[in-house]
Amino acid sequence: MKEAFNKIKKLIFNKRMIFCISFLIVLGIGFAVISISKIKGENNNDIVLDNKEIVFKDINLEKAVRETIKKPIGKIYRKDIMNMQRLDASKREIKDLDGIENLSNLNMLDLQKNKILDISPIRQLKKLDELYLNNNNLYDIGPLKECKQLRELYIYNNNLISAEDIKNLNSLIILKIGSNHIESLKPITNLKNLKDLDISKNILSDISDIYTLENLSVLNINDNNIRSLDGMEKMKSLTELYAKGNALENIDSLREMKSIIKLNISENRIKDIAVLSNLEQVEDLNIASNFIKDINVFKNFSNLKCADIRRNHITNLEPLTNNKKIEEIYLEEKADIKYIKKFKNQIKNADVYTKAKLLNEEIFK
């Protein structure tokens, strides 16, 4: 009796096992079918997306895209533009950017010298690294907030009154925002990775906010209304400073900026440049159109290659004899060139008057 019971028990157990195994097999097949269907669906979706027609409202923008993908006629599909990484659409009278948002893999976009007012579609281009929007009609650059990977941004010669919209673009290394109507540089103080900054031709009177940008090596503040550079000595990495056309009188802050290689302080109100004596690395120096009488400091500039000293009150050019590497020299019309005669076959360029005199002396290369 016990043996019969055990047989029945074993038979029931085996049936349960067979049921469980069968259920698992059916379940596995079901999952496989669903997965295959899903993969097929995804593939079908990809095919549908690849064959999606891309339309550009502006015919000139479309032409630029067609030239890039080498497809002069026919519909443009997503598969045609999905691998585009660079687009040069400059100087084409473009007004409308609608459709450009589909170029999602772009790294470089050049839209300079067009007639663009609205850059909203650009907010979708998350991979942009380099963007040229200079020489357009822009008042609003808000969409650039979304372009977090930007490293180079050129937006000079527009109608901007603020840099607020780019204050969080922390990857920026180059920013050209000259020729606008900007009064404050506070938003730019966040951009700690900046190495090259152009804020020329704005309406700035104070630039002290950017003295904290310790990585900056090139700074252009030309043609503003800046009266003081006090505090600039903190910018130890600066190698090029362009400060033409301001209202500078005192340049004491440049005294210890020994890394300067190129310096333009022309068209200011400067009378004394003795404070530049420590700038022994300077190669290119423009002090034209000031009130300078004495250039004795030039004796310290053994690396000087280019000098412009026109439109000052300089009478003694003897210090120029120490500038043995000089290649370009720009002097007053009535300047006596006797101190640069020894640079025979060395000078490559000069102002028209000096050039004529040098040619007469047969020392112009």
Q: Is residue 10 domain-shared with residue 100, that is, in the same domain?
A: no
C-beta separation of 204 from 225 below 8 A: yes
Q: Is residue 18 domain-shared with residue 106, that is, in the same domain?
A: no
Supply the DSSP string of 299-355, one letter for each residue: GG-TT--EEE--SS-----GGGGG-TT--EEE--TT--GGGGTT-TTT--EE-HHHH
Query: Where does a domain end: 150, 168, 202?
Result: 150
The CATH code of the domain that includes 65 is 3.80.10.10
**Cα–Cα dist 22/14, whole Å:** 12
Question: For position 49, what pLDDT does the model report?
Answer: 58
User: Is 125 part of any domain?
Assistant: yes
Instruction: Extract the tokens encoding 174.
Output: 């180059």
Q: What is the pLDDT along the chain (365 residues), one digit of tens a residue?
A: 445 444 444 544 455 555 545 544 544 545 444 454 444 444 445 455 578 999 999 999 999 999 999 999 999 999 999 999 999 999 999 999 999 999 999 999 999 999 999 999 999 999 999 999 999 999 999 999 999 999 999 999 999 999 999 999 999 999 999 999 999 999 999 999 999 999 999 999 999 999 999 999 999 999 999 999 999 999 999 999 999 999 999 999 999 999 999 999 999 999 999 999 999 999 999 999 999 999 999 999 999 999 999 999 998 999 999 999 999 999 998 888 888 888 867 899 999 988 888 777 655 55
User: Is 64 part of any domain?
Assistant: yes
Pairing mode of beta strands 152-154, 196-198: unpaired
Q: Is residue 58 domain-shared with residue 100, that is, in the same domain?
A: yes
C-beta separation of 305 from 325 below 8 A: yes
- Specify the number of domains making up the chain: 2
Query: Where does a domain end: 150, 182, 201?
Result: 150
Q: Is residue 108 domain-shared with residue 82, that is, in the same domain?
A: yes
Q: Is residue 129 domain-shared with residue 86, that is, in the same domain?
A: yes
User: Is 97 part of any domain?
Assistant: yes
Q: Is residue 16 domain-shared with residue 80, that is, in the same domain?
A: no
State how far the alpha carbon of 227 is from the alpha carbons of 66, 247, 283, 286, 291, in Å.
50, 5, 25, 18, 16
The 3-state DSSP composition of the chain as helix, strand, coil percent (nearest 5) reads 35, 10, 55
Neighbour-count burial for 188-199, b at 16+ CB within 10 Å, e otherwise: bbbbeebbbbbb
Instruction: Extract the tokens encoding 104.
Output: 């999602």
User: Is 347 part of any domain?
Assistant: no
Query: Where does a domain end: 150, 165, 196?
Result: 150
Supply the DSSP string of 235-262, one letter for each residue: -TT--EEE--SS-----GGGTT-TT--E
141, HSE (Cβ side, Cα atoms, 13 Å): 27
Beta-sheet strands, E only, within 93-181: 108-110, 130-132, 152-154, 174-176
State how far the alpha carbon of 301 is from the alpha carbons of 273, 286, 325, in Å.
13, 13, 9
User: Is 157 part of any domain?
Assistant: no
User: Is 279 part of any domain?
Assistant: no
For 324, counting Cβ atoms within 10 Å of its Cβ (0-12 exposed, 13-18 middle, 19+ buried), the class is exposed
Q: Is residue 31 domain-shared with residue 117, that is, in the same domain?
A: no
Q: Is residue 96 domain-shared with residue 55, that is, in the same domain?
A: yes
Angle at 141 between CA 138 and CA 147, to 5 degrees: 135
C-beta separation of 107 from 86 below 8 A: yes
C-beta separation of 111 from 93 below 8 A: no
Q: Is residue 27 domain-shared with residue 73, that is, in the same domain?
A: no
User: Is 16 part of any domain?
Assistant: yes
Question: For position 220, what pLDDT does the model report?
Answer: 99
C-beta separation of 132 from 109 below 8 A: yes
Q: What radius of gyration do the chain's Cα atoms show? A: 34
Whose CA is closest to 206, among 235, 189, 183? 183
Q: Is residue 145 domain-shared with residue 68, that is, in the same domain?
A: yes
**In which domain, by residue range, is 58 found?**
51-150
Residue 286: partners with Cβ closer than 8 Å, 6 or more residues away: 244, 263, 264, 265, 266, 306, 307, 308
Q: Is residue 57 domain-shared with residue 28, that is, in the same domain?
A: no
State how far the alpha carbon of 342 is from the alpha carbons of 79, 96, 324, 354, in Å.
66, 60, 9, 14
pTM across the whole model: 0.85
Q: Is residue 24 domain-shared with residue 5, that is, in the same domain?
A: yes
User: Is 34 part of any domain?
Assistant: yes
